Structure 1
């Protein structure tokens, strides 16, 4: 009864059809760029279709050995054609695409869907030549290219080499886990940089402050304060950007806690939601005020992320992990609270990750991690207040400080409120 569902074509015919489709797809794009006259490219629609069929038929007749022989022959003919070409374009794109087409034809005999998918990707890359070239040459800056390579090396080279086990004093350090946090922070910083590039000055200081906050909220507050001091007419917009950078801090904190220990993140869900809502509401008020003051503002793009800052984060995080473990071993929970509060003066995320790591290893409960992390968030807010006052002056600070205090008060209320309600309910 189910015979009508079976394909009417034999597997060999399907392979030939897929191989032909691969050759025609890639050849269609190459034919458009083939050119005319003596300098035209030697490979076009028919050549690519024949090359893909040659790869498929060679595997069907003689297996991988014959495919290798056919591929070598086509490579030799491609090299001869390239040397005889009178074209002024020294590129090898068509030649490499032709060789890859032969291999894709051979792959279609065993994994047709994968071969077809790779062919589509290749065709997209070939067709997007102008857009890709313009993006690399005109859109990306040299620093952004370097940052991309650094991020790729950190993710694909360094990370696989790091051990995934506890090492160091008190067994407090996990090199792979620490580096994952560094990569995450770099990625979030790059995302903020991209947001600034896409939105430009039209996004205003509020949006740029939020995006820059993923790199450093404290630094963003300092930059916004300096801008407000230099241009008092931007005071409202600068305050909005400074406040919304705190939202970025909270979002980033959620991300690093999720990567470290989900149980700790669940314990902090209400406090972080309350803090984020307070920062967002306060920032929104000044965003509206800032939009009335100015419709645009100049933005300093800078680097996508700071490698020295990322490495400093790794060192800071390692130091905080060891310090927290040592103080906890010597003084119990009070030692952990003190170390988190002190470390929070410089950075919120390092003590948060250190505390969440202790929870992940079972040394403390996830509920016990809430107070140290909020303590770090509170002392970090003190640093932001000082930076805001010094950089932006009295007018900027008087607008910023109530928002920062509101954020911390909301976070602690979110942590204490459920316990108080529970106690009242029990009574």
Structure 2
């Protein structure tokens, strides 16, 4: 999969550069910081899955914190501190867990095995912004430029998730022996963040919470494992990255046009920004997994894995999560993008370079969905070697109860 990620990251870098040339995203230091973030992430994936790769990924996160800070506002400084704190704590937790396990080469004796699993869960929850430690991602979305958030979500977070996928293959006991707890974490993010996304009136934090919501789906694929779960996670992460990139870009175009962040009270943006409106809709299709996008290839496999291993209870939770995601985006499209213009005319038109970037990234998920062989991961090696945990219905029900408790405590 790393061979697929590298062209993806290169395409994102080129697209962000073209977009930022026409719709400025920051001062002089902004683009060098973006380039350094993407380059460090790419090199970390090339470095494999050892300590060197972890240090390179952490270096990318440090540069990303500087990228957030570069906007120069008090809100950006506060968001950068939250992000940096989460990345430092997450890296420390994961590094400690990997030290206890010889970087996945052994399972320590009790109770150190439980300590290692708990640290891995905490570390990846912090890095990916999962419920209940999601605090940094909405703050970054509100305080940063759209392409800063898009790079963090579509590059830094995606690389972190792929490292989790690698650990699923190298350390199956971490997931198979503690499947119910991992499922609870995934469902808390899927359902809790779905509710939080629906509660937003501004589009940028809505996109941030829906990112956390989708990570719940992806984490379920990792935990369930097996050919369907792992392949579903591989395909869905591509839809996740491309969908979020194009939707944040469309919202950035709307903010450029309006001179203020778009909300659900904004009306008829597609009348003034037809390309951005169409791109947002296509990006939403890829993100929630509607055919014929690559996101559908992933979500369909995740449903199959959930039905096979978790039974009707887990399948019902997945349906509920999908309903929240679809409702969130249907509402945004209906209220913000469609309908007659409501005071949205008169702003600057979408520059051609930005429009070309949005169209390219909006069409790509559809092309990959129609020609999945182009992805090169139709039957990923990790999926072949992974084994699915035996998740009894009672464990799934217990996971749902735990997830509901966590989600109910989210404010």
* TM-score normalised according to structure 2 size: 0.30
Larger RCO, structure (CA 8 Å, separation 6 or more):
2
- Greater helix content: 1
* TM-score normalised according to structure 1 size: 0.30
